[in-house]
């Protein structure tokens, strides 16, 4: 068994595998090229000694690792899920600040994934227009802002688009919270007034 480290290249925005031990014995520069015969059975991240490497679980005199070659080529699958915390209705006056959730459920690493937002009735903007990198099963959150530019309408359609293909269409209602607060306040006042009138009548009886 053998181990080798990785370092994060901030200029290339990716993890790079290196093998300084084998460079010393073979003379190969593993900083610019890498032996594709390497197969990783265990990846250490948060802990440097766990999970245990292959062979540590052996109970008797058997082979440590079984590797069976195959002629089948893995199929690349690009599967992106998008969702948002956009509520059913937003305030006409103040708009809404939310988050777009993007999950890579495929088996390939994606780079420079474009994201867009469209709306005919509203002014919608994203905090960024591209997701730099998204690994398989990674979740990325993007901030967005919705500002109504037409207060005369009661609802609007918003379309989020990612990777030039996957779309999420949602309809949001537009309400004026000021008048809503007045209506709720008036209703509470009438309930309290009715309760007070009933109490006065009961006291007189």
| pLDDT, tens only, 16-53 | 777 766 656 666 666 666 666 677 778 887 787 888 87
In a shared domain, residues 61 and 117 = no
Please name the residues in contact with 101: beta carbons below 8 A apart, sequence gap of 6 or more. 82, 83, 84, 85, 139, 140, 141
* Mean pLDDT score of the chain: 80
In a shared domain, residues 140 and 101 = yes
In a shared domain, residues 160 and 118 = yes
CA distance 104 to 52: 28
| pLDDT, tens only, 53-92 | 776 766 677 666 777 888 888 889 999 999 998 888 888 7
Q: How many domains does the chain have?
A: 2
DSSP state string for 104-133: E-SSS-EEEEEEEEE-SSEEEEES-SEEEE
Q: Which domain holds residue 45?
A: 1-65
In a shared domain, residues 26 and 90 = no
Token digits for 183? Answer: 């209506």
In a shared domain, residues 58 and 113 = no
The CATH number of the domain holding residue 139 is 2.60.40.10
In a shared domain, residues 87 and 37 = no
In a shared domain, residues 120 and 166 = yes
CA distance 128 to 140: 12
In a shared domain, residues 37 and 119 = no
Whole-prediction pTM value? 0.60
């Amino acid at each position: 068994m053998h181990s080798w480290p990785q370092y994060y290249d901030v200029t290339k925005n990716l993890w790079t595998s290196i093998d300084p031990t084998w460079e010393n014995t073979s003379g190969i520069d593993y900083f610019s090229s890498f032996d594709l015969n390497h197969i990783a059975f265990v990846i250490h991240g948060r802990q440097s000694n766990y999970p245990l490497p292959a062979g540590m679980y052996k109970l008797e005199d058997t082979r440590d690792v079984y590797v069976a070659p195959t002629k089948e080529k893995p199929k690349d699958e690009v599967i992106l899920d998008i969702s948002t915390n956009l509520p059913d209705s937003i305030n006409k006056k103040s708009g809404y600040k939310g988050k777009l959730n993007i999950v890579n459920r495929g088996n390939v690493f994606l780079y420079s994934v474009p994201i867009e937002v469209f709306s005919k009735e509203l002014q919608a903007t994203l905090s960024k227009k591209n997701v730099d990198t998204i690994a398989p099963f990674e979740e990325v959150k993007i901030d967005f802002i919705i500002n109504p530019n037409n207060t005369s309408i009661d609802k609007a359609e918003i379309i989020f688009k990612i990777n030039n293909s996957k779309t999420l269409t949602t309809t949001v209602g537009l309400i004026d919270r000021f008048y809503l607060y007045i209506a709720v306040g008036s209703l509470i006042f009438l309930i309290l007034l009715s309760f007070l009138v009933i109490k006065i009548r009961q006291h007189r009886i």
